[in-house]
Chains A and B, each alone.
Chain A
Amino acid sequence: MKYSVDENGFYGKFGGAYVPEMLYPNVEELRQNYLKIMAEPDFQEEMQSLLRDYVGRPTPLYFAKRLSEKYNTNIYLKREDLNHTGAHKINNTIGQILLAKRLGKTRIIAETGAGQHGVATATVCALMNLECIVYMGEVDIERQAPNVARMKMLGATVVPATSGSRTLKDATNEAIRDWINNPEDTYYIIGSVVGPHPYPDMVARFQAVISEEMKAQLLEKTGSENPDYVVACVGGGSNAAGAFYHYLDRPEVKLVAVEAAGLGIDSGESAATSVLGKEGIIHGSRTLLMQTEDGQVTEPYSISAGLDYPGVGPLHAHLHQSGRAIFESITDEEALKAVLELTRLEGIIPALETAHALAAIGRLGAKPEEVVVINLSGRGDKDLATYLERFNLDGK
């Protein structure tokens, strides 16, 4: 079984580029150039130096002693939360902004759910002095206010997406429409392993630095590059793609993708695409997506804005269908419990998205001698308002 993308942009039967003709030249330009530009020595040099000195890579691989004791196994946290801007998202935006510059683009657009990708994009735009427009669902603007403020402070224009469910799906629609309207000077920095080929592959490659570092760090700490489990949360799936990347062809490493069950799989308020989705096309990609019998995309729900997406990247659809990855789903309540657990056991406040991965530890059945790596994709600063309210910490 092959897990990397084929020459037509497919992972098994998933992927491709189902875009209107208006987008064809943009997507094609990117397809023809991304691998070539990424291989150029000066591109690599600039990217590596920024990842080291600006983002703060490599991120630590931390042995979580008290968490490990609790679950009677060996748990390591890959600390993507310690990246500049607080999540893994910047690994990808650094890569794509350098690509955009080399393609001569002057205007940058992005979509965002939790705001982490929006902040990461606004950050690199400030760094490179490029105009930045971020589309964000109206609902998400409300529940992720700190990130909206950060984007504005960084000089980005935040445009509310007011159509549909007014969340990540609709922000993505609006960004795509902007790109149709501005085909020549604009570069679209997609934040996850979704969208038309080559985006899923390109974003996975930029995030692959996560598992590349993990291999070396695990070798040093455990004597083997391979853990028994790699666990990551999945909305679109970029942090999971990065954490899985270098282990895809090592079947002895179990890959665990954790989706948001929202209020419960059968509640009608969920975002667990692998369970509830059917094959179809969303945002230019053939993948699994939540939809009605008539092919209308349904509105997902999760407490976590970053996982509140009705589709999943085509790589993950393939990992699901081929059985290469184990898919779990975690409810809002379970995720919140995991937030508090990590905070109190390890002194780390995780993002709500990341908490879904943490909440799955108990389901792994990991043995005392086994090694589990959780990709700690982001920190919880942006979710403090939710935490205060849900944990009754605001004194009311």
Chain B
Amino acid sequence: MENRIQKLFAQKPQALLSVYFTAGFPNLEDTVPIILELEKNGVDLIEIGMPFSDPLADGPTIQQSSEVAIRNGMTIPKLFEQLKDIRQHTQIPLVLMGYLNPVMQYGVERFLQKASELGIDGLILPDLPLSDYVREYKALFEQNGLSNIFLITPQTPEQRIREIDTHTDGFIYMVSSASVTGSTTGQSVVNTSYFERVNGLGLRNPGVIGFGIHNHETFTQACNHASGAIIGSAFIKALAKEGSLTENIKTFIQSIRLKENA
């Protein structure tokens, strides 16, 4: 049976907007309100970040939001409790993103079962190696109808991209450049030769570009080379602003979609 991610991409979406946020930030109980507001504002896919004390692939924004979330009391059991009725309210594809250690402590098998029960569609665990996934966990993911999303970078060799493509069923997360999350050093994320090289491989899975996407320009650029783009750090900065969650989310998503709505 297809999960919601697979259904979404089966419709061959263009300029898909995926948004990441850290669960438990800015406040512990914001998880469900943020999900519902994002859906209301036309976001296509949501990545719920499970905060970790040592997020190696993340820049300062997500590090800090994770610290706050942990201090606020966010844990995996707490998050699951918050999400227990989520499918009565929304059918938007939901991905849980986090690091392997907290998932290991919860118990990988128990985690996958619980996520599936709650109606989660996929997982991104950047430090779960492909080889471990294939050897130990792939069957469990499939039994639970969960897509495991892998990252690739401009440095990932073709052979490995093809291997990843074989073992995943959702989308491939194309890291825009060599960086941790939240880097906005360049206005441009257009690493055209890399994106075109990947597009030329004829992969089974669609690509979505993330890392460094932070405004309308970078979002549009990314969408020219992939099915869509992922925004994380820039959204977290917007959430941290003064004002209501509702207003902050609305203003931010509109600023990204800008010209389509105009």
Contact = CB atoms under 8 A, between A and B. Distances in A.
B152 interface: yes
Contacts of B132: 16, 18
B56 interface: yes
A176 B56 contact: yes
B42 interface: no
Contacts of B175: 21-22
A394 interface: no
Contacts of B103: 295
A182 B155 CA distance: 11
Contact of B54 (A20, A24, A169, A184): A169
B104 to A, nearest CB: 6
Interface in B142-195: 150-153, 155-157, 160, 175, 178-180, 183
A180 B179 contact: yes
A280 interface: yes
A18 B127 CA distance: 5
A297 interface: yes
B105 A295 contact: yes
Contact of A21 (B100, B101, B156): B156
Given A163-B63, A294-B75, A294-B102, A180 B178 contact: yes
Contacts of A293: 105
Give the one of A18, A163, A278 with max B CB within 10 A.
Answer: A18
B101 A183 contact: no
A18 B105 contact: no
Nearest to B105: A295
A17 B155 contact: no
B212 to A, nearest CB: 11
B169 to A, nearest CB: 17
Interface string B85-112: 0000000000000011111111000000
A296 interface: yes
B101 A25 contact: no
Give the one of A176, A281, A289 with max B CB within 10 A.
Answer: A281
A164 B54 CA distance: 8
Given A169-B54, A280-B101, A280-B105, A22 B129 contact: no
Contacts of A16: 129, 132
A19 interface: yes
Nearest to B157: A25
Contacts of A20: 56-57, 126-127, 151
A177 interface: yes
Contacts of A176: 56
10 contacts: A21-B150, A25-B157, A180-B178, A182-B178, A183-B155, A278-B105, A279-B104, A284-B56, A294-B76, A295-B52
- 3 closest pairs, A vs B, by CB? A295-B102, A295-B105, A20-B126
Interface of B: 52-54, 56-57, 59-60, 63, 67, 70, 75-77, 99-106, 126-129, 132, 150-153, 155-157, 160, 175, 178-180, 183
